[in-house]
Amino acid sequence: MKIESKNQENNILEVENLAKKFVVKKGKMPWQKNQYVNVVNGIDFSIRKGEALGIVGESGCGKSTTAKLIMDIHSPTKGSIVYNSQELNDLKGKEKKKIRKDIQYVFQDPMGALNPRIPVIEQIYEPLIIHYGRDIKNYYKKAVSLLESVGMKESHGKMYPHQLSGGQRQRVVLARAMILEPELLICDEPISALDVSIQSQVVNLLMKIRDERGITLLFISHDLSMVRHLCNRTAVMYMGHIVEYGDNETLFNNPLHPYTRSLINAIPVPDPRIKKDDIILEGEIPSLLDPPSGCKFHPRCPIAGPECSLKQPELKTMPDGRKVACFALKRGDCNE
Amino acid sequence: MNSAYIIRKIFRAFLTIWIVTSFVFLILRLSGDPTVSVLGLEASPEAVEAFHAKWGLDDPIHVQYLRFFANVFQGDMGVSILEGRSALTAVLSRLPATVSLMVISTILTFSVGIFFGVMASLYHNTHKDQIIMTVAASGFSIPTFVLGVVLVLIFSVNLGWLPSTGSATWKHYIMPVLTMTIVDAAVFARFTRSAMLEVLYQPYMKTALAKGMSWGQAVRRHAIPNAAIPVVTIMGFWIGALIAGAVIAESIFAWPGVGRLLVYSVKHRDYNVVQVIVMLISVSMVITNLIIDIIYGKLDPRVSIDRGAE
Amino acid sequence: MNNDKPLLELRNLIVGFNGAHKGKPVVRGVSLEVYPGEILGLVGESGSGKSVTCYSAVRLLGERGWTEGEVLFDGKDTLSCPEQDIVSIRGSQMAMIFQDAQSSLNPVQTIGRQLVEVLMMREDLRGSSSETFRKEAVDLLNEVGIPDPERRIGEFPHQLSGGQNQRVMIAIMLAGNPRLLIADEPTTALDVTIQAQILRLLKKLCRERQMAIILVTHDLGVIAESCDRTVVMYGGRIMESGSVEDILVHPRHPYTFGLLSSKPRIDIKVEKLNTIEGVVPSPENLPEGCPFFDRCLNVTDKCRDNYPPKVIEGKRHYFCFNPVEERSV
């Protein structure tokens, strides 16, 4: 089934009104209702071919679930995911397998993603066997060249995952994801488990992959500094909603949504000479079991007005092209 | 606790008791009848026929089954074929002997098992730990009936210190109680030790020390309450082992209790008595597990026993 | 910080673990001082020995490890004193909080009970009524910013969020009125907005109670925002030490320099990240010389086998043969 792309931009993936709710408590008696949480609450975004899109937010904001919905690990409650003009939710069997080849992913924990009993080189070319049948000799060559392109040596290939360091394992996982020559690489917190000095190695590698091979990246992270550095555009999520979404230059230099502003302000800068405005966001993220009415951010928001507790604001496009979901903007409180 | 939880629990209890009783009902009747035991091998065909008619043994099994449950629901547990009196009375008259044995064994199993388990964990990887664990390992590798027989051989036959059968004096209690206790205490010691070791390396033990507590205080106030949670959980499973142990011990030492009655009644197909005992066992298991559920909820605030019904 | 007598002083502390690598210490000669009313940042990656250093200072390593050197708390050697002496110092003189606050609290006791437990050990409150203890506990929860403390006092750790549990941990450790608080990665497991709240709380406590705080972290940003002085550790050794401004703005050690330039910043766009090539050395494989030699850009022949001497420049010092030239990052 072909679906007409809604805009003229070269979008590889378009997500529309995507939502996922999970059952948290099953009613044990017939008269008891199941209790749900809305983890992703109707989000829209798109990824352009060749770019790196970042999704950021704090724990429980739904960023990882979004990634898992795209990866088909969870199936969405509603909404559509259109990949290269094909609706992913409608695909079955062979077609699905073909698309899966084009979308690859990297998770936070490389040790969990690797089989501890198989040498890493075999794990790198294993996807080829699954998709194209046996041709080990050629596959081996290809796997070695990939291993080298992620900055490791052929000799590392014979090793088992526990013999490698965390950073090296994540490189192996990356090489494995690359071997099917995917178009889209989804990275869910790929560097969070790594030491600071190793993080930049993996991030530089991801940038190289994007720039040299033209692979599109979806980068999910809680590390805003890294997202600012690596990505072209960013979506900021809070309690299942996208609150701000736009080019990194505009978004990070002049955040508009009060949540984005306080999030950016909360990130420590390793320079004691910089004195930041001492606005620290008070309170904590409310429980998903009992979400606030209206805008999910209004109980913590420094500029919340009366309508904020009544209605969920929609993402509105600003003159500079970014999108923001905030009523206060209309009143001009946020404009610089 | 709320009504939904109690309803669910009671429903399950009845289901358990029904399944167990039905199973025993079928097995007993499919594997023989009490005629020979009561009338002897030489009985005339007329006498056998009269006996069958009296106890309804000629009816098809589903008729017997329905009749049995109809009677049970009216509170009539039937009559002991061998003793001629009410099956319930026959069982209840033996109950005190069994309960006294079980209570003593339970107290001893818990106190000895838990004490040595805690000790072993506190002296982890030292000689004390190794000695306790070696003794425990040999303790639970002996089958209960072998242990009983060995005790009889040593203390009654060879040394003549203790009586081997009966329940008249405190001396009679020693060997049955030991038979029921040694294996289970060893199991509890091992389990308590591993529960303690799990807890002793938890971060909150470090917190307790950082607060300014001595190691002993930290163990008493923070380790033991937490280690108690898994130990209480296995107590539920252990009740079954206690009953099995009582059956074996009573048989070996000719203890006039319910366990021995059970073996005797099964052998002679005294249907109604067996059914009463089986129901008694199921009910007591159900009640114990309910009590353990409640204790568990009290010990561990993270588990609310009425989960799923808010 | 006008106090010139250090509250805690480590002198050439060496720590190793018992077991297979018993002979290979993971902390190899650390000396540092903490003064009353200051926050000292201890920064390093995994395996740098920063946490082990702190555990040894409070003697919480137990039988898992061995120590050499001296730890002087208020002039008293806490490494060699009898066990009951260190027990009486812990909680009332020096306290410690940890990374994972939820598992650092006893899951089966209410937070109130865990708080009162410390209050009951306090000399000045001995024999007080349970009402007094309760009031003290509520006051402490108030001080660390727990909303609705009257109700929270009867709740269990699993009913609170990660950030609130860390506040409760801080309250518990404040209950004994300690003069030194060691915070081992207290915000690593928390979201950034909550991290900012906890760091602000620690700064407030340090100022109001004139407490000394050792803040262990792997995040140079956290150091810049909350600490007065910092010690940079790598491979069980101190790389350099000095005021936060000196170390972060004018790093002299190539490791600090590399760390600073390999992390992107939220406030400035960096075109390309520098990387520190290679891997963090494992504690059992530390070289005789500088542990950073195989990843260092300034490495020379002598670095491998010789540990560089201490170079003192004003109020800072570093251990390096070929320091980074004086210039801002």
What are the helix (H) ranges across chain A?
Answer: 63-70, 93-102, 110-113, 120-132, 136-149, 166-178, 196-213, 224-230, 248-253, 258-266, 328-331
Digit-coded pLDDT (tens) for C23-44? 889 999 999 999 999 999 999 9
pLDDT for B166 beyond 90: no
Tokens 């009031």, located at residue: C135
Task: Write out residues in chain A with pLDDT < 50, as ranges.
Answer: 1-5, 334-336
Q: Which of C197, C264, C275 is facing A225, going by the closest CB pair?
A: C264
Model-level pTM? 0.86
A vs C: CB pairs below 8 A: 129
Digit-coded pLDDT (tens) for B176-218? 999 889 989 999 999 999 999 999 999 999 999 999 999 999 9
Report in angstroms the alpha-carbon separations of C40 from A274, C37, C241, C244.
19, 10, 10, 9
CA A258 to CA A301: how far, in whole Å?
Answer: 7
CA A284, A285, A289, A292 dihedral sign is positive
CA A114 to CA A98: how far, in whole Å?
Answer: 23
The contact set of B with C (CB < 8 A) is: 202-204, 206-214, 221-222, 225-226, 229, 299-302
Residues 152-181 of C with CB under 8 A from A: 161, 163-164
Q: Which one of C275, C282, C297, C329 would you mutate to disrupt binding with A, by most A Cβ within 10 Å of its Cβ?
A: C275
| Whether C87 and B300 lie within 8 Å, measured CB to CB | no
The total of other beta-carbon atoms located within 10 Å of residue A310's CB is 12
| Whether A58 and C273 lie within 8 Å, measured CB to CB | no
Give the contacts of A223 (CB within 8 A, at least 6 positions apart): A56, A191, A192
Residue B168 lies in a domain: yes
Residue B282 lies in a domain: no
Per-residue confidence (pLDDT) for residue C2, from 0 to 100: 47
Candidate from A312-326, B168-182, B240-254, B288-302 with smallest mean pLDDT: B288-302
Which CATH number belongs to the domain containing residue B111 in this structure? 1.10.3720.10
CA A28 to CA A37: how far, in whole Å?
Answer: 17
Per-residue confidence (pLDDT) for residue A263, from 0 to 100: 92
Report in angstroms the alpha-carbon separations of C283 from A202, C11, C172, C292.
23, 21, 33, 12
CA B150 to CA B253: how far, in whole Å?
Answer: 12
A234 interfaces chain C, CB cutoff of 8 Å: no
SS (H, E, C) C48-88: CCHHHHHHHHCCCCHHHEEEEEEEEECCEECCCCCHHHHHH
Token digits for C203? 């700064």
Per-residue confidence (pLDDT) for residue A277, from 0 to 100: 67
Residue B36 lies in a domain: no
pLDDT for B141 beyond 80: yes
Supply φ then ψ for residue B196, to 5 degrees.
-65, -45
Are the CB atoms for C157 and C106 separated by under 8 Å?
Answer: yes
CA C171 to CA B145: how far, in whole Å?
Answer: 57
Give the contacts of A9 (CB within 8 A, at least 6 positions apart): A46, A48
Are the CB atoms for B258 and B280 separated by under 8 Å?
Answer: yes
Per-residue confidence (pLDDT) for residue A2, from 0 to 100: 46
| Whether A280 and C221 lie within 8 Å, measured CB to CB | no
Per-residue confidence (pLDDT) for residue A72, from 0 to 100: 87
Digit-coded pLDDT (tens) for B96-138? 999 999 999 999 999 999 999 999 999 988 899 999 999 998 8
CA A57 to CA A63: how far, in whole Å?
Answer: 7
Per-residue confidence (pLDDT) for residue C216, from 0 to 100: 97
Q: Average pLDDT, whole number, for chain B?
A: 86
A28 interfaces chain B, CB cutoff of 8 Å: yes
Coil vs helix vs strand at B310: coil
Token digits for A26? 């099953």
The larger pLDDT score, comparing residue C145 to residue B7, is at C145
CA C218 to CA C223: how far, in whole Å?
Answer: 9
pLDDT for B31 beyond 90: no
Q: What is the mean pLDDT of residues B83-93?
A: 88
Q: How many domains does chain B have?
A: 1
CA C205, C208, C211, C217 dihedral sign is positive
Does ipTM exceed 0.95?
no
User: How close B308 gets to chain A, by Cα (Å)?
Assistant: 6
C172 interfaces chain B, CB cutoff of 8 Å: yes
pLDDT class of B305 with cuts at 50, 70, 90: very low
User: How close A38 gets to chain B, by Cα (Å)?
Assistant: 19
Q: How many CA atoms lie within 13 A of A151 on its CB side?
A: 20
Residues 212-271 of C with CB under 8 A from A: 218-225, 244-245, 248-249, 258-260, 262-267, 269-270
Per-residue confidence (pLDDT) for residue C20, from 0 to 100: 80
Range of the domain at B228: 94-271
Per-residue confidence (pLDDT) for residue A330, from 0 to 100: 64
**Does CATH number 3.40.50.300 belong to domain A5-102+182-335?**
yes
CA B219 to CA B225: how far, in whole Å?
Answer: 9
pLDDT for B309 beyond 50: no
Are the CB atoms for C105 and C168 separated by under 8 Å?
Answer: yes
A259-262 long-range contacts, CB within 8 A, separation 24+: A259/A297, A259/A300, A259/A301, A260/A236, A261/A334, A262/A302, A262/C193
| Whether B211 and C91 lie within 8 Å, measured CB to CB | yes
Per-residue confidence (pLDDT) for residue A256, from 0 to 100: 93
CA C100 to CA A247: how far, in whole Å?
Answer: 36
Coil vs helix vs strand at A220: strand
β-pair partners for C198: none
CA C312 to CA B138: how far, in whole Å?
Answer: 65
Domain extent listing, chain A: 5-102+182-335
Q: Which of A25, A26, A28 is facing B4, going by the closest CB pair?
A: A28
Supply φ then ψ for residue C28, to 5 degrees.
-125, 65
If you measure CA to CA, which chain C residue comes closest to A300?
C193
CA A168, A172, A173, A178 dihedral sign is positive
Per-residue confidence (pLDDT) for residue B306, from 0 to 100: 43
CA dihedral C150, C154, C155, C157 (to 10 degrees): 100
Are the CB atoms for A158 and A119 separated by under 8 Å?
Answer: yes
Residue B38 lies in a domain: no
Q: What is the mean pLDDT of each run of 10 residues along chain C (329 residues)?
A: 79 91 89 95 92 93 89 92 91 93 94 94 88 94 92 93 94 95 94 93 94 96 95 95 95 94 86 84 85 91 91 94 75
User: How close A38 gets to chain C, by Cα (Å)?
Assistant: 19
Q: Which chains touch C (3 or more CB pairs under 8 A)?
A: A, B
CA dihedral B237, B279, B26, B54 (to 10 degrees): 160
The total of other beta-carbon atoms located within 10 Å of residue A161's CB is 21
Chain A residues with CB under 8 Å of C260 CB are 270
A29 interfaces chain B, CB cutoff of 8 Å: yes
Digit-coded pLDDT (tens) for A79-99? 999 998 888 888 888 888 888
Residue B43 lies in a domain: no
